[in-house]
């Protein structure tokens, strides 16, 4: 667990949106999906997921409905709304720009300055 | 997130709090089970798997709380928490809570009661669609800024203006003899003549039948049609829809009912509730002035003209337009219009005209009611402040364990809002009781057979205004204490309840409260005193005529279609017969009675030989038309010359009697008897002044002595007259005698408003103003009581807070009298400042009231002699009692005192 990175503030929402964009999922499923797509590199406290989910639903980016899970249990499934899809695109762009900028800043060598 | 989705989420969170919470629990549980399933698949027992899943999840409660917050509805939940908490803490101090609520209720009740009057008299819009577009057109002269127009002038205004979608005219409400069929005796009802487009332009469509047609207002006397008011329709015809096309008799002429006005249109006037509307073209049936031709004479000004502004037209354009029109009138018809202008006014301007007594009273009542509310608010603010202090320790603890200041302020504000809501409800109840109480006087105030109503009521507008006011006062008197009590020094706050080292800033607020209270209540009391005493003084001055042993009754022979000759004959025979009847000492006929509800006519005249200022065509005075029995019957002394005689006939030289005020005004230092005036203008009819009568009160009991002129009835015939009969015994016993005399002359002629004059006078001139006095008195009393209680509370609290300090002083050797002086000195200074301010405000109010209501007497010293010492004594007691207690405490005890 020690090589897992702590989440930057604000990035959980982005991860949730991304995870859900690949198909409707219930809460636990989202958690697994994030671990899977991040190659298990990101640490998310299980409980912390839910406030984020509810916030996104309230903002109209996700919609939720009850259904039955692969374990044959009742679970609430989340999927993206149109607004959610749009937001995911924007956030992804922003994140990429930021990441590139930080990366190039960190990669700068003394002679380039 | 948009505003609406916030609201929706709040609302759904609020409405389905239980369901939402349940769903959330379900979801979290489902998560745990999924995780446990995975763990179980890895070979762990189910129980162990579930335990581990729960552990991995992290702080369940914490996340649940966070999740709940993320769900929304947090605001609502904290509000509920705050309310629960506030109610609990308010119930811990029931005495204080009740006191605050009652105080607020009284303050708000005064204002909401007053506002129900203000609304009816000033703010309530006309009961028509788009009322703000309706303006009033007035004719202006040197002596009156709100004169009416004549029929001819109305036609010109209607046809030669461009600013309006329609120009309408109506007469005053007139007494009309109504009978459902030809055989029954006519009864007195109130009818209003209106232009044919009146209802249409106002946007009022009949609920039954049809509106007037425009051609029904074209030819004088042709179209006898009438639109009934809904109330009259119900009362007279039982709401029968078959009333349309029925024939009724108005003043003896057959009219056809064509429509019934809608329920929501009680009429355009504040008090008048016309029973029906008749076209202006039927004026000959209802017209008052027999000397003038309604349709032709440009100076027969009987019409109130209103108009609806065209969309896009401004008031300014209308003003300019009518000013030009008035100029044209002046040059085209100099005889009727010299020196006469015109103006356009909004509804608000018409209702706040300076010469309107309603408006004056309204202003005074509003000022007083607001003063009461102000006193109430300072009271409550003071109490909450003290309460905040007493809770300083609790608040300090809350702050130190991490409560946010804004959160605490919100909590305290919730408390004041709860107090204000309860106070507001109580206030509305008091206001309602006030309005009900006021309506018990309807019969006293409205002593007439005509349909009048006092439209004061607690409606939604008043209700909302009152509640808004309650909330405003909550903010005003709750915010300052909340801010102050959350600004404490934590360390010392927890250690002791005695938080503040009396810093200058802290004390300042409370001192301001004391000063505000003293000055405002002083002003209130001064006003109450002035009104009550001014009124009593006015009554004592007397009316200068004899009011007892008089029976009054009014006749209008036009109700049975008499022509002027028949009218003259009727009155002549009636007075002659009555004079010979047993128990009758004398009788008199007059156009208006003194101190009645009707306004006296104005008379335009020029003192003969007087050089008038160039821009002035004439002077004017109020007048009455009376017969030769008037001065004797009313017992008004003739100071010089003579009263009217039988010989002052229509053919004899024209004469007049003026009152002493008039004589002094126009012929100072000379004998007015033998002087001449000319009626209307410089070349009008010559009239000789033959007598000077004592100045009596004519318009109302609180009158300034005013110019007054009497003209003989024989030379100025009037149809509608009031008969006064002087009796040797109880005047009411003469009713039968008069009835008998009238019956022998014409059994169809109704007697209007028959009653003993003294009773009428008492209701009209004494009881009605007394209602106003009672109201002002009540406000003054409530103000005083509240001020006394509040003052006592504030000062006593200030002193008791210094118990600790007093203990130290005494331990250091100060003796009791020194301590007393110290404590009371402070109170005295505050009361002194308050008194000075209060006196200044009192003088201002006195000037205002003198200029509005009473004759400009000097300062009413008694008011101050009574009021100022009262407040002083109260303040001294308030300071003395706790000071004495403090000075008696053993120093050791005082030092330990918390």
Q: Quick check: B618 pLDDT over 50?
A: yes
CB atoms within 10 A of CB B80: 12
Nearest to B173 by CA among B269, B252, B305, B274: B274
What span, in angstroms and rounded, lies between the C-alpha atoms of B178 and B449? Answer: 13
What span, in angstroms and rounded, lies between the C-alpha atoms of B426 and B530? Answer: 29
Confidence of residue B500 (pLDDT cuts 50, 70, 90): very low
For all residues of chain B together, what is the average pLDDT? 82
Which helix (DSSP H) or strand (DSSP E) does residue B605 occupy? strand B601-607
Confidence of residue A3 (pLDDT cuts 50, 70, 90): low
Say if B62 is an interface residue toward chain A (CB within 8 Å).
yes
Predicted TM-score (pTM) of the model is 0.68
Say if A48 is an interface residue toward chain B (CB within 8 Å).
yes
Residue in A with minimal Cα distance to B23: A76
More confident residue, B238 or B90: B238
Q: Which of A103-107, B481-485, B574-578, B715-719 has the lowest mean pLDDT?
A: B481-485
> What percent of chain B is modeled with pLDDT above 90?
26
Length of chain A (residues)? 113
**Which residues of chain B make contact with A55, given a CB cutoff of 8 A?**
70
pLDDT at position B503 is 47
Say if B71 is an interface residue toward chain A (CB within 8 Å).
yes
More confident residue, B593 or B807: B593
Please name the residues in contact with B717: beta carbons below 8 A apart, sequence gap of 6 or more. B290, B291, B564, B567, B568, B650
What span, in angstroms and rounded, lies between the C-alpha atoms of B301 and A100? Answer: 89
pLDDT in tens, B175-200: 888 888 877 777 888 999 999 999 99
**Which residues of chain B make contact with A60, given a CB cutoff of 8 A?**
1, 5
**Which residues of chain B make contact with A73, given a CB cutoff of 8 A?**
30, 33-34, 37
Q: Quick check: B147 pLDDT over 70?
A: yes
Please name the residues in contact with A68: beta carbons below 8 A apart, sequence gap of 6 or more. A74, A75
pLDDT in tens, B74-121: 566 677 777 888 888 788 778 788 888 888 898 888 888 888 888 888
pLDDT at position B856 is 41
CA of A106 to nearest chain B CA: how many angstroms apart?
A: 35
pLDDT in tens, A22-71: 888 888 888 888 888 888 777 777 777 888 888 888 888 888 888 888 88
Confidence of residue A1 (pLDDT cuts 50, 70, 90): very low
Nearest to B532 by CA among B135, B849, B126, B204: B849
Confidence of residue B38 (pLDDT cuts 50, 70, 90): confident
State the pairing for strand pair B341-346/B134-140: antiparallel
pLDDT at position B71 is 61
CA B25, chain centre distance (Å): 59
Q: Quick check: B499 pLDDT over 50?
A: no
Grouping H, G, I as helix, E, B as strand and the rest as coil, residue A19 is: helix
Nearest to B555 by CA among B590, B516, B505: B590
Residue in A with minimal Cα distance to B68: A51
Burial of B662 (0-12, 13-18, 19+ CB in 10 A): buried
Cα–Cα distances in angstroms (integers) from residue B472 to residues A81, B36, B469, B477, B846, in the given order: 44, 57, 5, 9, 29
ipTM: 0.87
Q: Quick check: B882 pLDDT over 60?
A: yes
User: Which neighbouring-strand residues pair with B655?
Assistant: B688
* Residue range B132-152: mean pLDDT, rounded: 88
Which helix (DSSP H) or strand (DSSP E) does residue B741 occupy? helix B735-745
E strand residue ranges, B182-270: 187-194, 208-209, 225-228, 247-250, 253-260
CB distance B424 to B108 below 8 Å: yes
Q: Where are the domains of chain A?
A: 11-107
Instruction: Give me the sign of the Cα torsion angle B86, B92, B94, B99.
Output: negative
* Residue range B862-872: mean pLDDT, rounded: 74
Q: Where are the domains of chain B?
A: 3-72, 148-339, 357-541+764-896, 550-758
Grouping H, G, I as helix, E, B as strand and the rest as coil, residue B861 is: helix
Length of chain B (residues)? 898
Nearest to B800 by CA among B692, B888, B673: B888
Residue in B with minimal Cα distance to A28: B31
Q: Tally helices (H) and strands (E) across chain A.
A: 4, 3
Q: Quick check: B739 pLDDT over 70?
A: yes
What span, in angstroms and rounded, lies between the C-alpha atoms of B57 and B302? Answer: 89
Confidence of residue B299 (pLDDT cuts 50, 70, 90): confident
pLDDT in tens, B40-60: 888 888 888 888 888 887 766
CB atoms within 10 A of CB A72: 8
Say if B69 is an interface residue toward chain A (CB within 8 Å).
yes
pLDDT at position B62 is 66
Which residue is listed with tokens 């330990």?
B896
What span, in angstroms and rounded, lies between the C-alpha atoms of B789 and B791? Answer: 6
**Is the domain A11-107 a CATH 1.10.10.10 member?**
yes
Q: Quick check: B11 pLDDT over 70?
A: no
* Inter-chain touch A28–B31, beta carbons under 8 Å: yes
Confidence of residue B403 (pLDDT cuts 50, 70, 90): low
* Inter-chain touch A71–B23, beta carbons under 8 Å: no
pLDDT at position B4 is 55
Confidence of residue B489 (pLDDT cuts 50, 70, 90): low
Which residue is listed with tokens 């017992």?
B635
């Amino acid at each position: 667990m020690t090589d897992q990175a702590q989440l930057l503030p604000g990035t959980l929402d982005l991860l949730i949106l991304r995870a859900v964009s690949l198909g409707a999922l219930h809460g636990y499923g989202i958690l697994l999906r994030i671990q899977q797509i991040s190659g298990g590199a990101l640490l998310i406290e299980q409980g912390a997921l839910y406030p984020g989910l509810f916030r996104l639903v309230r903002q109209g980016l996700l919609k939720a409905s009850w259904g039955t899970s692969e374990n044959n249990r009742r679970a609430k499934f989340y999927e993206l709304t149109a607004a959610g899809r749009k937001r995911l695109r924007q956030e992804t762009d922003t994140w990429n720009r930021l990441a590139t900028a930080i990366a190039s800043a960190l990669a700068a060598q003394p002679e380039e300055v | 997130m948009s505003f609406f989705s916030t609201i929706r989420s709040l609302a759904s969170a609020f409405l389905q709090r239980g369901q939402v919470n349940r769903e959330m629990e379900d979801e979290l549980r489902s998560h745990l089970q999924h995780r446990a399933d995975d763990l179980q698949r890895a070979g762990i027992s189910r129980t162990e798997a579930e335990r581990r899943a729960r552990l991995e999840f992290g702080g369940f409660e914490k996340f649940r709380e966070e999740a709940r917050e993320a769900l929304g509805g947090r605001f609502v939940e904290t509000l509920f928490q705050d309310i629960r908490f506030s109610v609990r803490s308010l119930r811990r101090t029931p005495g204080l809570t009740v006191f605050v609520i009652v105080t607020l209720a009284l303050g708000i009740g005064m204002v909401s009661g007053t506002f129900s009057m203000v609304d009816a008299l000033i703010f309530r819009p006309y009961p028509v669609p788009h009322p703000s577009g309706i303006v009033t057109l007035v004719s202006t002269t040197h002596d009156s800024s709100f004169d009416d127009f004549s029929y001819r002038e109305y036609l010109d205004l209607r046809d030669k203006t461009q600013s309006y979608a329609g120009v309408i005219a109506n007469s005053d409400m007139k007494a009309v003899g109504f009978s459902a069929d030809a055989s029954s005796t006519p009864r007195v009802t109130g009818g209003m003549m209106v232009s044919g487009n009146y209802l249409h332009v106002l946007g009022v469509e009949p609920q039954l039948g049809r509106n007037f047609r425009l051609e029904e207002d074209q030819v004088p006397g042709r179209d006898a049609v009438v639109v009934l008011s809904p109330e009259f329709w119900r009362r007279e015809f039982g709401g029968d829809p078959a009333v349309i096309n029925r024939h009724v008799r108005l003043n003896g002429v057959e009219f056809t009912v064509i429509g019934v006005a809608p329920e929501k249109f009680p009429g355009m006037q504040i008090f008048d509730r016309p029973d029906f509307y008749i076209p202006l073209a039927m004026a000959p049936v209802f017209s008052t002035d027999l000397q003038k031709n309604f349709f032709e004479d440009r100076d027969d000004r009987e019409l109130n003209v209103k108009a609806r502004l065209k969309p896009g037209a401004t008031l300014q354009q209308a003003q300019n337009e009518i000013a030009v029109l008035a100029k044209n009138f002046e040059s085209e018809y100099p005889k009727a219009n010299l020196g006469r202008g015109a103006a356009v006014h909004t509804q608000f301007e018409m209702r706040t005209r300076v010469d309107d007594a309603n408006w004056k009273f309204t202003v005074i009542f509003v000022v007083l009611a607001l003063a009461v509310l102000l006193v109430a608010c300072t009271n409550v603010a003071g109490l909450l402040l003290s309460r905040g202090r007493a809770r300083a320790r609790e608040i300090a603890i809350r702050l130190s364990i991490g409560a946010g200041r804004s959160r605490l302020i919100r909590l305290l504000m919730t408390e004041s809002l709860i107090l204000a809501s309860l106070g507001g409800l109580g206030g509305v109840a008091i206001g309602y009781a006030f309005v009900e109480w006021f309506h018990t006087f309807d019969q006293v105030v409205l002593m007439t057979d005509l349909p009048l109503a006092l439209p004061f009521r607690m409606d939604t507008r008043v209700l909302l205004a009152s509640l808004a006011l309650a909330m405003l006062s909550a903010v005003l008197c709750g915010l300052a204490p909340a801010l102050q009590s959350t600004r404490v020094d934590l360390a010392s706050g927890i250690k002791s309840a005695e938080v503040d080292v009396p810093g200058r800033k802290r004390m300042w607020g409370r001192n301001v409260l004391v000063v505000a209270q003293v000055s405002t209540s002083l002003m209130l009391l001064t006003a109450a005193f002035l009104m009550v005493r001014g009124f009593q003084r006015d009554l004592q001055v007397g009316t200068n005529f004899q009011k007892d042993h008089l029976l009054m009754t009014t006749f209008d022979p036009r109700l049975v279609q008499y022509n002027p000759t028949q009218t003259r004959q009727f009155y002549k025979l009636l007075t002659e017969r009555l004079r010979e009847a047993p128990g009758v000492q004398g009788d008199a006929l007059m156009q208006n009675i003194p101190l009645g509800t009707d306004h006296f006519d104005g008379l335009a005249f020029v003192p003969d030989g007087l050089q008038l200022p160039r821009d002035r065509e004439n002077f004017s005075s109020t007048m009455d038309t009376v017969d030769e029995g008037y001065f004797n019957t009313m017992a008004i002394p003739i100071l010089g010359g003579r009263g009217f005689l039988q010989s002052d006939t229509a053919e004899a030289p024209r004469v007049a009697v003026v009152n002493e005020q008039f004589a002094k005004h126009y012929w100072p230092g000379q004998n007015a008897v033998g002087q001449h005036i000319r009626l209307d203008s410089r070349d009008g009819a010559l009239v000789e002044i033959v007598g000077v009568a004592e100045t009596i009160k004519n318009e109302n009991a609180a009158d300034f002595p005013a110019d007054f002129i009497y003209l003989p009835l024989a030379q100025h015939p009037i149809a509608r007259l009031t008969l006064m009969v002087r009796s040797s015994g109880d005047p009411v016993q003469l009713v039968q005698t008069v009835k008998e005399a009238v019956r022998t002359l014409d059994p169809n002629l109704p007697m209007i408003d028959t009653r003993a004059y003294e009773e009428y006078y008492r209701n009209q001139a004494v009881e009605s103003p007394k209602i106003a006095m009672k109201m002002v008195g009540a406000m003054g009393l409530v103000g005083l009581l509240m001020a006394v209680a509040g003052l006592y509370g504030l000062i006593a609290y200030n002193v008791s807070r210094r118990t600790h300090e007093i203990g130290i002083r005494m331990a250091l050797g100060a003796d009791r009298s020194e301590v007393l002086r110290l404590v009371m000195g402070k109170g005295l200074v505050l009361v002194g400042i308050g008194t000075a301010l209060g006196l200044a405000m009192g003088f201002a109010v006195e000037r205002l009231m003198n200029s509005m209501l009473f004759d400009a007497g000097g300062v009413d010293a008694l008011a101050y002699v009574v009021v100022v010492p009262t407040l002083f004594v109260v303040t001294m007691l308030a300071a003395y009692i706790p000071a004495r207690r403090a000075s008696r405490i053993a120093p050791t005890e005082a030092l330990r005192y918390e």
